[in-house]
């Protein structure tokens, strides 16, 4: 995967310097990514490429190496820790709507927290500087109540360093932020994310509920065992558990719409900034 990231970075970085070279089309970029996925032995992937008003969403390979079910543009794939990006966006959006500072502690919004956990600020949790230890993201339960319950299980011993000391990746930190998001809106985390992020961005088929995702076309996890692809079997996958990083499912088509919305919003902000800096 590192090789893929390096190649994509090089592609994006080289484009402005080579003015004579035509900008690659979304299809060209998608095909390049697909070739790298094949070289990395990834069984399947959903790819969305956005360039201006152009958007391409494609599925490559298989969603299940055992059944050989094809992975399409509308196949739900596990979002994993990319959910942290959406969580941070939702938290900052809600804080802004409530006129609360990002430096506010989460304690008032999650009843029953230990003193140290309650003192953690939204900023420290989202910036991974809370001092919380990490915990593996593949344990726990998919019961939505677990998000708050896990936050209330945190003790001072779970904090390894004073807040602001160092960047330290923590699934627990984002789970605590997700629990606080529930408290801010007084709704389950999955409902808040759908209302605040997915629906406004047109990601209508994305979900943080496992049962909803697996009821439709979805991809399973794989790993290489004995030099062959094997389906990862778990008794439970956990899209909203407080005992792991909160995560969900989304389709490449939805993700492409999200990217297009975000790039348009970024362009609008740049135009606004330029207008504001122009002489009157």
Name the CA radius of gyration of the chain, rounded.
20
Instruction: Decide: helix, strand or coil at residue 219.
Output: coil
The 10s digit of each residue's pLDDT in 40-90 is: 888 988 888 888 888 888 888 899 999 999 998 888 888 888 889 999 999
In whole angstroms, what is the distance from residue 46 CA to residue 141 CA? Answer: 27
- 255 or 196: whose pLDDT is higher? 196
The 10s digit of each residue's pLDDT in 176-192 is: 999 999 999 999 999 99
In whole angstroms, what is the distance from residue 24 CA to residue 54 CA? Answer: 12
Homologous superfamily of domain range 76-250: DD-peptidase/beta-lactamase superfamily (3.40.710.10)
What is the b/e burial string over 218-250, where b = at least 16 CB atoms within 10 angstroms of the residue's CB? Answer: bbbbbeeeeeeeeeeeeeebbbbbbbbbbbbbb
Confidence of residue 234 (pLDDT cuts 50, 70, 90): low
pLDDT for 3: 42
In whole angstroms, what is the distance from residue 83 CA to residue 203 CA? Answer: 13
196 pLDDT exceeds 90?
yes
User: Which residues does residue 54 pair with via DSSP β-bridges, in sequence order?
Assistant: 51
pLDDT for 278: 33
Q: Which of 150, 148, 154 is nearest to 192 (CA)?
A: 148
Q: What is the mean pLDDT of residues 237-261?
A: 48
Confidence of residue 4 (pLDDT cuts 50, 70, 90): very low
Write out the two tokens for 161.
């360093």
266 pLDDT exceeds 70?
no
Confidence of residue 230 (pLDDT cuts 50, 70, 90): confident
pLDDT for 140: 60
Q: What is the mean pLDDT of residues 19-41?
A: 79
What is the b/e burial string over 5-36, where b = at least 16 CB atoms within 10 angstroms of the residue's CB? Answer: eeeeeeeeeeeeeeeeeeebebeebbbbbbeb
Confidence of residue 7 (pLDDT cuts 50, 70, 90): very low
pLDDT for 21: 62
Instruction: Decide: helix, strand or coil at residue 151.
Output: helix
Confidence of residue 102 (pLDDT cuts 50, 70, 90): very high
Q: What is the mean pLDDT of residues 146-150?
A: 89
In whole angstroms, what is the distance from residue 216 CA to residue 233 CA? Answer: 18
Domain boundaries along the sequence of the chain: 1-73, 76-250
pTM of the model: 0.73
pLDDT for 237: 38
Q: What is the average pLDDT value for the chain, to the nearest integer?
A: 78
User: In 98-228, which ranges are continuous DSSP H helix?
Assistant: 115-119, 122-126, 146-153, 171-185, 189-193, 210-214
Instruction: Decide: helix, strand or coil at residue 254.
Output: helix
**Contact call for residues 6 and 36 (beta carbons, < 8 A):** no
């Amino acid at each position: 995967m590192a090789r893929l990231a390096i190649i994509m970075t090089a592609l994006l970085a080289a484009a402005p310097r080579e003015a004579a070279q035509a900008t690659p089309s979304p299809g060209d970029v998608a095909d390049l990514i697909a070739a790298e996925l094949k070289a990395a032995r990834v069984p399947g992937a959903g790819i969305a490429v956005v360039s201006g008003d152009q958007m391409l969403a494609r599925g490559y390979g298989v969603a299940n190496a055992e059944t050989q079910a094809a992975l399409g543009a509308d196949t739900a794939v596990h979002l994993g820790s990319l959910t942290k990006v959406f969580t941070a966006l939702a938290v900052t959006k809600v804080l802004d709507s409530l006129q609360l500072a990002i430096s506010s502690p989460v304690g008032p919004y999650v009843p029953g927290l230990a003193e140290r956990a309650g003192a953690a600020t939204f900023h420290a949790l989202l910036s991974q500087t809370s001092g919380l230890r990490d915990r593996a993201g593949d344990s726990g339960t998919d019961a939505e109540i677990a998000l708050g319950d896990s936050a209330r299980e945190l003790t001072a011993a779970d904090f390894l360093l004073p807040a602001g000391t160092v960047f330290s990746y923590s699934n627990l930190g984002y789970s605590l932020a997700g629990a606080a998001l529930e408290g801010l809106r007084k709704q389950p985390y999955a409902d808040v994310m759908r209302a605040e992020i997915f629906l406004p961005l047109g990601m209508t088929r994305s979900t943080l509920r496992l049962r909803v995702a697996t009821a439709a076309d979805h991809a399973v996890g794989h790993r290489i065992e004995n030099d062959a692809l094997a389906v990862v079997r778990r008794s439970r996958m956990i899209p909203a558990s407080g005992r792991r990083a909160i995560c969900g499912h989304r389709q490449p088509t939805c993700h492409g719409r999200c990217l297009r919305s975000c790039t348009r919003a970024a362009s609008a902000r740049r135009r606004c900034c330029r207008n504001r800096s122009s002489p009157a």
